[in-house]
Amino acid sequence: MAINPDKCWWTALDKNQSLDLAFTLSKKALVLWDNFNFQDEIKDKLNAIKALPGIALKEIDDVIDKRNESFDEERLTNIFTLFVTPVLQIRDGNLKLPYVVKSTFLSVFNILKGILSSNDKSNALDCFSLSISRSLDAITISNILTSEEISKLTQKYFLLSGKNE
């Protein structure tokens, strides 16, 4: 069964399922960020943030592992703060990146934003959903996974969403 990511079925997932899917897809898309050959003029801007998405995903993995325990909110807030300047530069057009690379970076940012807004369930779900959309865009456009591989990766979550009924 082919899953159509355009339907946004993941919006029916609960917060934990949505976080898991966002993390899984961002981790797959991260290869686009890590392997992108940045031009010399923006390498200087990116030196400080090149490892940031990978570091953030490691911290997010810890949050997922400790789901029922408290997590180091201060550490996540500090990492989130490091994302703010590059995100603003991307949005203002001062940091021009290919769509798939930008989407990968922003998918990780949105997961952090969702985790840190955990007191507002609706906002957290919106952030995780946006992360999922960005990752799927990056993965699909860049062909790092086939539609069959995406379906296999997301099948469990699709079934959990109840949209298959």
Residues 117-130: what's their mean pLDDT?
90
pLDDT band at 144 (very low <50, low <70, confident <90, very high): very high
- Tens digits of residue pLDDT in 88-108: 989 998 888 899 999 999 999
Which is more confidently placed, 118 or 29? Answer: 29
- Residue pair 83/95 in contact by the 8 Å Cβ criterion: no
Give the CB-side neighbour count of residue 106, counting CA atoms within 13 A.
23
* Tokens, residue 93: 């057009």
User: Taking the mean position of all CA atoms in its chain, how far away is CA 128?
Assistant: 7
CA angle 126, 120, 133 (to 5 degrees): 10
- pLDDT confidence of residue 125: 93
- Write down the pLDDT at residue 164: 62
Read off the pTM: 0.88
Rg (CA), the chain: 16
Short-list 127, 105, 131, CA closest to 24: 131
